[in-house]
Structures are given as C-alpha cells and as structure tokens.
Copies of this chain bind each other. A is one copy, B any other.
Amino acid sequence: MVAPLKVGIAGLGTVGAEVVRLIETQARVLAGRSGRGIRVVAVTARSKVKKRGVDLRGIEWARDPMALATHPGIDCFVELMGGAGDPALSAVDAALNAGKSVVTANKALLAKHGLKLAKAAEKHGGALNYEAAVGAAIPVIKTLREGLAGTGINRVYGILNGTCNYILTRMEQEGLSFAECLKDAQRLGYAEANPSFDVDGHDTAQKLAILASLAFGTKVAQSAVYVEGISSIAPEDLRAADDLGYRLKLLGVAVRTAKGIEQRVHPTMVPKSSSIAQVMGVTNAVTVDGEGIPPITLVGPGAGGAATASAVVADIADVARGIRANPFGRPISHLRDTRKAPMERHEGGYYIRLLARDFPGTAAAIATRLAEQKISIESIVQRHPNGGAAPTDGKAVPVPVILITYATHEDAVRRALAAVQKDKVISGRPQVIRIEKN
C-alpha cells in the first residue's frame, strides 16, 4: 500500500474550507481513484480563529505560507491565497524548488509568473496543476493539456468572466444600461466594489494567456493580450446584435494566424447559432477548434466555492496518482516566445454603429470612405428614431446607422472611420465591435 499523499493548504476561504471538506467526505472515492489516500496534514490562513464550518482538529497550523510550502511533512502544496505577488508567488516558488507538487487556483500568478514557476516544476519534478484557474470546474486545462494532446489547435476562445456575461445577458434581456446592470451585479456579489479588473477585461486576459500557452505552445504572457472591456456597450448594440442574428459577448480569443498567435479580449458579435452564444448569465464556456474536427465547447460554472474546490481536488488527485504533466503541456524548451500579433492587422468582420447627422448624402459619404479602404459592406441599416417619418420641426436629427462589414483589416476600419469623422457627417464617436465567426 502506497503512503497517503500529504497535503498542505494555504488559504482557508470558501474554496480552501470546501477543499478540506471534500478531501474528508470523498476520502474513499478519492483513494479508489488515486490508488492512495489523500490527507490534509497542515494548513495556514490569515486568521486562526475564524469559523469555517470544517473540522481542523488533528491538522497542524503552519506559521505562515512559506513555512507550509517548505514543510518537510507535506508532498503537495495547495495555494488558495490568490494574487500575483507575495506571499503566493514566493510560497509556490519555494514549494516547487523543494521538489513538492503544487496545486493552485491562481490565474494571476500563472499569467504573470507561469513560465518561471513551470521551470521550477520541471527542474525539480513536481507537478504544477491549476485547473481551477480558468473556468473553475470546467475541465478546460485538462482538455487542452491532455485531452487534445495529439491534435493541432487553430483557435481557442471563450466567455471567461461571469461578471461580464451576467451584465451583457441582463442588458440584452431587459434592455438595461451597462451602469444599471453593473450595480445589480455588485449588489448580488457577482462584481467587486472596484469592478475594473472584471469589466475592463483584465481577468479574461489572464485566463486567455494561460489557454493560449496550452493551445499553441507559446510562453504565457499576459502582456501579449490586446484588451478592451465592455463599459462602452450600449443597449442599442445588444438590440442591433439581436436584429442581425448575433449575440454580444466579452470573448477572449487566441487564434493562429499567418502573422503569429493573436490574443485578444474584446466585446464580440457571435452568431446566435454558435454554442458560445447560448451561454447566459454567470456561466463560462470555452470553445476549441482542433485541426480537421468540429469545435468542442465546454460550458459550466466559472466561479464559486464548490466549483473551484472540485477542480482543486481533482488536481490533488492527479498528483496522488503520480501524474506529472508539463505545466504548459510541453517541456519549457519547446515553448516559443509570444510575439504580440499587432491588433491593427487583425482580419475579420466588423459591426459599426454611427450616429449620422441627417444631411442628404450622409450614407453615401460613409459608404465612400469605407470603399476607399476596400471595405465591403454586408448590410447597412439606417433607422430614423421616429420610425421613419421625416422630422416635423425642420431640424436635422441624428440617425443611427448600423453597418456590418465583410472580413477586412482593423487598420482599414480605423482609417475609414477617422475619415468619416473628419467629414463631420456623424455625431460622437463610432462604436466598433468585432465579429467572430464559428
């Protein structure tokens, strides 16, 4: 009989406490699946006295994360403190350098220091598992790292932030503004008091950087990700998307192009018929396009204590079973540098919403500017706010114009719209949203 795997857990919030509980209540199943027992032998957290609803008797309390990480009595260090800096970074690094395996749910740590940590894991032979860091219980890391081991990947994209998807879903379904939905999300605990990390796309960017590395064998680099958030999205964009057969989602997209690996986070029009378009509320989803095979989409909870703990415990079980995957799927020496594919060379379709000053010939002026940049228009809709009747007071009322382009280049779109603005035929700034085809 193999000795049980001895686990130390740093961080006993909702996730940490649930991990302790699962390891205890699922002991027999876990031992059966892993071929050996799993035992929590030591823990540490900021408060020793906080009520957590789990029985910690018989478990050693370590002085601090660093002491736990290098504790000679543990085989596997579970980091659930969060944050890209210390104490998480030093503790995980120390554990790996001490030859221990590490399980973490910390996307920021992986996105910022993943390469350094993977090197330490590879050098000392420990596992570095982080299924919970992206999509919580959705087995997306395992799918990319193991399940598609022999399949070339062309694109991976997904809804990686539940807060943003909740806001966009409510805006779509109830016609509310971004600000109203954000307030509700904060009231319900789906968004932080400072929501920027979520709604400006940075959370999605960290997760995307991890997925891109796994999919394409590039060195994980959050700085290679182009990021736009959802705060500029208006209810009329969601209405227009619906009319045009699209849904609007904040996507993280990593795609192999002739110019390198594009990594980008931005509001995106996706065809209503796509799997990703069906994903509503706080739910997350990831789609993987493998070479020669139809897309595979994984849908599920992207956050929450139980869902995150489920992934952490599965990662611990893999350590117990002796599985040592390369942290990013390939040996460090195989990982390539990530060149940031310039966004201005992005190719794709565009949704453009303009507020045209209602002069005769405005539509013609806009169409001319687009044609100058060789942009072909798939559809153009101009809607008089008063339902099509001519203004009765003699004044020109701005008229929303919505354009869908065929595939073109981002810089062409930018140049055309700059020219349109110079022509002074529109009010305000144009809204530009990229289209992602399935």
A396 at interface (Cβ–Cβ under 8 A)? no
Closest residue on chain B to residue A150 by CB atoms:
B313
User: Judging by beta carbons under 8 Å apart, are A146 and B296 in contact?
Assistant: no
Given A149-B317, A150-B310, A278-B275, decide whether A330 and B293 contact each other with a Cβ distance below 8 A: no
CB distance from A335 to the nearest CB of B (A): 9
Residues in B with CB closer than 8 Å to A26 are 150-152
Inter-chain CA distance A298–B297, complex, in Å, is 6
User: Judging by beta carbons under 8 Å apart, are A294 and B304 in contact?
Assistant: yes
CB distance from A319 to the nearest CB of B (A): 11
Given A296-B138, A299-B275, A300-B296, decide whether A29 and B131 contact each other with a Cβ distance below 8 A: no
Among the listed B150, B278, B306, B317, which residue makes an inter-chain contact with A146, where contact means beta carbons less than 8 Å apart?
A: B317
A283 at interface (Cβ–Cβ under 8 A)? yes
What mask results when residues 131 to 160 of chain A are scored 1 for a CB within 8 Å of chain B, else 0?
100000111001101111111100000000
| A59-67, A320-328, A371-379, A405-413: which lies at the interface | A320-328
User: Judging by beta carbons under 8 Å apart, are A298 and B301 in contact?
Assistant: no
- Sorting the interface of chain A by its residue count into under 10, 10 to 19, 20 to 34 or 35 or more gives 35 or more
Residues A278-309 near B (CB distance < 8 A): 278-280, 283, 290-301, 304, 306-307
A34 at interface (Cβ–Cβ under 8 A)? yes
Among the listed B29, B139, B297, B304, which residue makes an inter-chain contact with A143, where contact means beta carbons less than 8 Å apart?
A: B139
CB distance from A272 to the nearest CB of B (A): 10
Residues A247-293 near B (CB distance < 8 A): 273, 275, 278-280, 283, 290-293
Inter-chain CA distance A143–B152, complex, in Å, is 20
User: Judging by beta carbons under 8 Å apart, are A307 and B321 in contact?
Assistant: no
User: Judging by beta carbons under 8 Å apart, are A294 and B290 in contact?
Assistant: no
What mask results when residues 174 to 199 of chain A are scored 1 for a CB within 8 Å of chain B, else 0?
00000000000000000000000000
Inter-chain CA distance A273–B278, complex, in Å, is 8
User: Judging by beta carbons under 8 Å apart, are B310 and A293 in contact?
Assistant: yes
Among the listed B29, B138, B149, which residue makes an inter-chain contact with A150, where contact means beta carbons less than 8 Å apart?
A: B29
A414 at interface (Cβ–Cβ under 8 A)? no
User: Judging by beta carbons under 8 Å apart, are B150 and A139 in contact?
Assistant: no
A316 at interface (Cβ–Cβ under 8 A)? yes
Inter-chain CA distance A310–B317, complex, in Å, is 25
Name which of A28, A152, A275 has the most chain B CB atoms within 10 A of its CB.
Answer: A275
Residues in B with CB closer than 8 Å to A145 are 33
CB distance from A120 to the nearest CB of B (A): 18
Name which of A28, A139, A279, A316 has the most chain B CB atoms within 10 A of its CB.
Answer: A139
A318 at interface (Cβ–Cβ under 8 A)? yes
CB distance from A317 to the nearest CB of B (A): 4
User: Judging by beta carbons under 8 Å apart, are B137 and A310 in contact?
Assistant: no
User: Judging by beta carbons under 8 Å apart, are A325 and B330 in contact?
Assistant: no
Closest residue on chain B to residue A301 by CB atoms:
B294
User: Judging by beta carbons under 8 Å apart, are A331 and B139 in contact?
Assistant: no
A23 at interface (Cβ–Cβ under 8 A)? yes
